[in-house]
Structure 1
């Protein structure tokens, strides 16, 4: 049979349980706090992070532009005359001197045309020679006729003057005098006619000779053009340089105007840059530029700003001592320097700024064994540094490697290498 427990005893037992409950609650709160603190702390190895100090000094205003290494002098060699490739003397990558034959073409139709043009020139030259001979013969004949007519006129004039004197003295009749006058007038008319005929005929033959000479000249020009086109079948280098583009094969048919090769002067280069229109207000000719090549800064300058925008970007030319080890067509980032700020705090640019939205960073403690998350405010930026306006002091050290692995922890514990 069960015994009934008095109410006073039951209350005493409950009171004894209360301290254990409070103790359990305190342990639970402490455990929760410790767990939350543990979850907000990231543990990394020292070798897995990069750090940088907060510096004070001069900060250059700049922006980045994409550029391509471009030769100062290049030539696109095109086929002036079509034909079939008979011989290739050079290939892409070879160096050629001006005047050297790169390849040889053949064109049978062009050579047949040359023969036809040469025959036509020969025939026309013969026609011109024959016309000159006939002109000289006609000129001599006319001169002879004019001389005979002049002599006859002189003779008839003398007879007419004699008959005139005899008639005045009454030794001859009127009829005889009139016959002498008529003979004189006929001789004078015949002489004038021959002179006029010779002049007209000379003018006509002169025009004929000029037309024949013009036709010969035109045919000779056509013949020279055909010869020039045949000479163009031997394709020569127009300048000294390196062949950077040529993809041809023996027997290949080449049309007039086709690209045969690209020759570039591989000793002199410039950078052809492309800048977003956002930076137009900060861009000026003469601005300093800089590239990083094999660990060294190379100083350059903007020499030309092209006047036209292409797809919201402006083209610029950048000149200077371009390293010889760079190759035509190589892409490279260029830093265009526009202005500068003096005596400012700054940090290096990096992915860590984008991971934190530019609003906070991890700052190392004095012992460099841990880092805490701290809010910052940034200002001016270039492609290398960012200005720090608030939140950091000169000499403090910041983790600048990516924050993605830290998962937005409040603190970072840094383990040394064993």
Structure 2
């Protein structure tokens, strides 16, 4: 009778295989433990930029492009409409105060001028005729007044004589009373005549004054009309250079239409547009510099425009000498200072900050063979440098180029590739 032999689970072969696996796992763990540390990477030193940390002058500034403009511009608009008859200057010419620029012609204004002159002359003739009539009337009244005075004197003489004769009882009371009544009548008549002369004189003066006022108003209107005719000749209000002259012979210009601009020759300014990010850090008097032919020139913020569209516009004026080679419309790079110049520890700007956020940097050892990840703290910046607040010292050398591809490494070995 056959006996079933049970198969053993742990055979010697399986035990030996298990032991070998355990030894492999232990070896791998030991290898990992013995090689634990920062990740390393070999790179060619020629592929990176190594810069020195230094202590020197540091100033926050923002580089912007500015446009050279005249320090003051006067816009020339047509004060009256008309057709361009003559152009008396060329675009870009330097003008003296009052120099004619464009001659316009407007027949409607000229016709209105003639009509107003005729109306003034008619009114002045009417005034003179009225004066003559009033003067003749006054002469007649004076003649009447003289006659009344003469009759009064005669009535008084007869009254005085009859009064004496009546007192002496030479004449009758009836005759005396007649002469007295005549004398009282002449007195009353003279009083009324004088009042009439005074009233007529006052009325005459008022009428003449009103007519003189009317003539004065019409003469003022005539002077304004002459001024409007003079405005058909557009002149330079002050000395300057005419630019953007926009006129052609025979062209119709309406009132208020722009015909050009007059740039003052007293100086130049620079207009720049800054990013809105700097709106809270811009103030009048802020300093800026431009470099022309390797020579710096200082500017100062004169005006900040309140309207913000695609940026903040500022006008800067020169605080000292003006570069002689600048021209209107020229674009110049401006360094607008955001802080005073100080002495600080600084590191040249580079692409490393995009990956590190200014928290660490690769610092090169003394012999230049390795670079180690070093914690740092950066502060202010300008287009050339970062301010170093902590982690580095003057003379240290660091990698400032981009850390793309090895930003997770803790150590770099700087070895040149063998050919």
TM-score by length of structure 2 reads 0.76
Deviation at 1:112, TM superposition (A): 0.4
Query: Is 1:177 aligned to 2:179, yes or no?
Result: no
Deviation at 1:337, TM superposition (A): 4.1
* C-alpha distance in structure 1 between counterparts of 2:136 and 2:415, whole Å: 120
* C-alpha distance in structure 2 between counterparts of 1:213 and 1:184, whole Å: 43
Q: Which residue of 2 aligns with 1:265?
A: 264
Stretch of structure 1 that moved more, 175-184 or 119-128: 175-184
**Equivalent residues, number:** 378
Q: 1:295/1:375 Cα in 2 relative to 1: closer, same or farther (>3 Å)? A: farther
- Local SS of the residue matching 1:248: coil
Stretch of structure 1 that moved more, 154-163 or 333-342: 333-342
Question: Which consecutive residues of structure 2, in runs of 5 or more, have no partner in the other structure?
Answer: 1-38
Q: Which residue of 2 aligns with 1:72?
A: 71
* C-alpha distance in structure 2 between counterparts of 1:312 and 1:105, whole Å: 40
Deviation at 1:393, TM superposition (A): 4.4
1:268-294 Cα offsets, whole Å, 9 max, x none, are 123345556655665554443323444
Equivalent residues in 2 for 1:16-35 (5 A)? none
Q: Which residue of 2 aligns with 1:150?
A: 149
- Local SS of the residue matching 1:211: helix
- Local SS of the residue matching 2:260: strand
Residues 70 and 271 in structure 1, CA contact (< 8 A), matched pair in contact too: yes
Q: 1:69/1:412 Cα in 2 relative to 1: closer, same or farther (>3 Å)? A: farther
Residues 376 and 388 in structure 1, CA contact (< 8 A), matched pair in contact too: no
Q: Which residue of 2 aligns with 1:288?
A: 287
Deviation at 1:267, TM superposition (A): 4.4
Deviation at 1:131, TM superposition (A): 1.1
1:178-215 Cα offsets, whole Å, 9 max, x none, are 11112112211221121111111111111111111111
* C-alpha distance in structure 2 between counterparts of 1:127 and 1:87, whole Å: 41
- Local SS of the residue matching 1:56: strand
Q: Which residue of 1 aligns with 2:378?
A: 379
Q: Over aligned residue pairs, what C-alpha RMSD do you find?
A: 3.8
Residues 289 and 337 in structure 1, CA contact (< 8 A), matched pair in contact too: no
Stretch of structure 1 that moved more, 190-199 or 293-302: 293-302
TM-score by length of structure 1 reads 0.76
Q: 1:184/1:388 Cα in 2 relative to 1: closer, same or farther (>3 Å)? A: same
Residues 239 and 265 in structure 2, CA contact (< 8 A), matched pair in contact too: no
Question: Which consecutive residues of structure 1, in runs of 5 or more, have no partner in the other structure?
Answer: 1-36
Q: 1:378/1:237 Cα in 2 relative to 1: closer, same or farther (>3 Å)? A: farther
* C-alpha distance in structure 2 between counterparts of 1:335 and 1:411, whole Å: 41
Residues 68 and 272 in structure 1, CA contact (< 8 A), matched pair in contact too: yes
* C-alpha distance in structure 1 between counterparts of 2:133 and 2:208, whole Å: 11
Stretch of structure 1 that moved more, 348-357 or 245-254: 348-357
Q: Which residue of 2 aligns with 1:107?
A: 106
